[in-house]
Amino acid sequence: MTALHPDLFALLFGIGALLVTASLIGYVLQRRYSPRGDNAVIENLNQRIRSWWIMVALMALAFLGGKTGVVILFAFASFSALREFVTLVNARRADHWALAVAFFVIVPVQYYFIWIEYYGMYSIFIPVYAFLLLPILATLRGDSQGFLIRVAEVQWALMICVFCASHVPALLSLDIPGYENRNVLLIAFLIVVVQLSDVLQYVWGKLLGRRKIAPRLSPSKTVEGFVGGVASATLVGAGLAWMTPFGVLASAGLALMIAFLGFLGGLVMSAIKRDRGIKDWGHLIEGHGGFIDRLDSVVFSAPIFFHVVRYFWSVT
C-alpha cells in the first residue's frame, strides 16, 4: 500500500478548483451563447468538462487506494482499450485462442508483475514471451490466410494497450532516494502534463491555428497549436517541480519530452484510425471517445518517462 502524501491532496485540490472554474465558465458560455444547445463548440466543451469530472474522480479514487488501486485502474483501462483495438483487427476463428490468452492471461499476468514490482519480467514479458506465444497459438489452428497481418495486429494491440500503459503504474515501483511514499505524484505529473498538453494544443490551435501540421492524419492539429500547447505544457511541468524529485529545469525538460512524445503518439493513433475509417476508438466517455482516445498520448510517453526516471533518479 503506497502511503498518502500531503502533496497528493494539494494536487487533487488544485485540479478540483480548476474543474470548478472550467465548469463555471462553461455554464456562463452556455447561458449566453447556447441557451438552446445549438452551439456545437460550447456543447462539446461542456461535454468534455463533465467527462473530466468523472475521469478525475476515478483517478483520485485510484490514487487514494495506493498501489493496488492504481494497478487495478490501469489493468481495467488496458483490458477495455485492448477490447476496443481488437474490434478493428482482421481476426479469424483461428485467432480465438490467441485472443483469449491475450485478454485473460497476458493482461492479468503483466499487471501482476507490476503489482509485485518484478521489473525483470514486466519489462520483457509482452515483447518477448507474449510476442512469441501468440503466433504459436495461431499456427496451431492451421489457418495461414492473412497470418502475418493477423498476428502483427494483435501484437501491436498488446504493445499499445497493455505493455505501454502498464508503465504508468510501474512508476510506483521506482526507488528514488528522498522521495519515499510520493511515487504516485510521478503518475500525476505524467498524466497532468500530457493531458494538459492535449487540451492546450486544442486551445492554441483554435485561437491561432493557421497551418496544418498533418492534414491527412489529423486535420484539427496545427503548427501553432502544437508549439503553443507543448510550450505551455513545458511551463506547467516546470511549475510542478515541487511535486517531483527533479529540479525546475529537469521538470521542464521532462515535461517537454512527455508533451512531444504524447503529440507523436496521438499522430500514430490517428493514422491507425484513418486506416480503419473511424473517428473515435469508442464512445464510452462522452466527449472523449473511447479508452484508447484518452490513452493514446500517455502510452507513447509513459515507457520513455519511466526509463528516463529509472536510469537517472532511481537506485533500482
Tens-digit pLDDT string for the chain (316 aa): 444 567 777 777 888 888 888 888 888 888 887 777 777 767 767 777 777 787 788 788 877 778 899 999 999 999 999 998 888 888 888 889 999 999 999 999 999 999 999 999 999 999 999 999 999 998 988 888 989 999 999 999 999 999 999 999 999 999 999 898 889 899 989 998 998 898 888 888 878 878 888 888 777 788 999 999 999 999 999 999 999 999 999 999 999 999 999 999 988 888 888 888 777 666 565 555 667 777 778 899 999 999 999 999 988 6
- At residue 235, the pLDDT reads 96
Same domain flag for 270 and 297: yes
Same domain flag for 123 and 230: no
Q: Give CA separation, 9 vs 5, 24, 115, 185, in Å.
A: 7, 22, 23, 10
Domain around 52: 1-64
8 A C-beta contact, residue 89 and residue 157: yes
Same domain flag for 221 and 267: yes
Same domain flag for 144 and 95: yes
Grid cell locating 255:
515535461
- At residue 36, the pLDDT reads 78
- At residue 19, the pLDDT reads 83
How many other C-beta atoms are found inside a 10 Å radius of the C-beta of residue 149? 11
Same domain flag for 184 and 315: yes
- At residue 109, the pLDDT reads 98
Same domain flag for 139 and 184: no
Same domain flag for 162 and 190: no
Same domain flag for 213 and 316: yes
Same domain flag for 165 and 293: no
> Could you give the CA distance from residue 11 to residue 17 in angstroms, rounded to a whole number?
10
**pTM (two decimals):** 0.87
The number of domains in the chain is 3
Last residue of a domain, one of 173, 197, 226: 173
- At residue 1, the pLDDT reads 43
Last residue of a domain, one of 173, 197, 229: 173
Same domain flag for 247 and 188: yes
Same domain flag for 76 and 105: yes
Same domain flag for 37 and 72: no
8 A C-beta contact, residue 298 and residue 191: yes
Last residue of a domain, one of 141, 156, 173: 173
- At residue 62, the pLDDT reads 79
